[in-house]
Amino acid sequence: MDCTASDISDAGLISDIRAGSDAAFAQLVGKYKRRVFGLAARFARDNDELDDICQNVFIKVYEHLPSFRHDAPFEHWLTRVTVRTCHDALRSRRHEKNNLRLDDRAFEICDNTEKARLEARQARDVLKSALSRLKPDERLVITLLELEEFTVREIAAMTDWSEANVKVRAHRARQALKRIVEADYGK
């Protein structure tokens, strides 16, 4: 098995954390904070919720680090914890209306024409509205597959769903999204 410097340093940090080093945990958080915040930002409604989700992720990491078995790179395990925590946050607010506020940074516009910006803004608003009305599982699979561009296999590993189940859920989520858009904005 080939180990990269990142794997070795992660293993060393994990070993130190298990031995009780708070400094090693702070170092691990610093190393992966950007990745966790970037992924969680796709699901959070605002900065306060983003902070809460990320804090919960790192609390879970700290609490469950003894169960990390080094079967895969630490970053994969961390991504899985992050996705599950985001999914929990989505499920906890499933009955709220208009619960998606995507960050404008997720929809950068390269074309500088006013018409293109207006059309992109309208498309973003349509997507925002439609995504907010999906069930939590549907929104999770669409976000991971289409916006975060994870593979079906990666999503299956993160969610404990089979690959076939991910494909079925993605298909159903796309159909639900299509129905919502057609009902609100016509064909």
Give the pLDDT confidence of 63-117 residue by residue, as tens digits.
998 888 888 889 888 988 998 998 888 888 765 544 444 445 444 444 446 666 6
| pLDDT at residue 164 in the model | 95
Determine the average pLDDT of the residues in 145-167: 90
**pLDDT at 29 exceeding the cut of 50:** yes
| pLDDT at residue 31 in the model | 93
Of all residues in the chain, what percent carry a pLDDT higher than 90? Answer: 27
| pLDDT at residue 172 in the model | 94
Residues 6 or more apart whose CB falls under 8 angstroms from that of 91 comprise 136
The one-letter amino acid at 5? A
Residues 6 or more apart whose CB falls under 8 angstroms from that of 136 comprise 87, 90, 91, 94
**pLDDT at 24 exceeding the cut of 70:** yes
| pLDDT at residue 8 in the model | 54
Domain 1-92: which CATH number of 3.40.50.720, 1.10.1740.10, 3.20.10.10, 3.40.50.2300: 1.10.1740.10
Report the mean per-residue pLDDT for the chain: 81
What confidence tier does 1 reach under pLDDT thresholds 50, 70, 90? Answer: very low
Closest by CA position to 100, among listed 11, 178, 165, 177:
177
| pLDDT at residue 57 in the model | 93
Radius of gyration of the chain from its Cα atoms, rounded to whole angstroms? 19
Determine the average pLDDT of the residues in 141-157: 88
* Class of domain 99-187 (CATH, top level): mainly alpha
Model's pTM, two decimal places?
A: 0.59
Domain chopping of the chain, boundaries: 1-92, 99-187
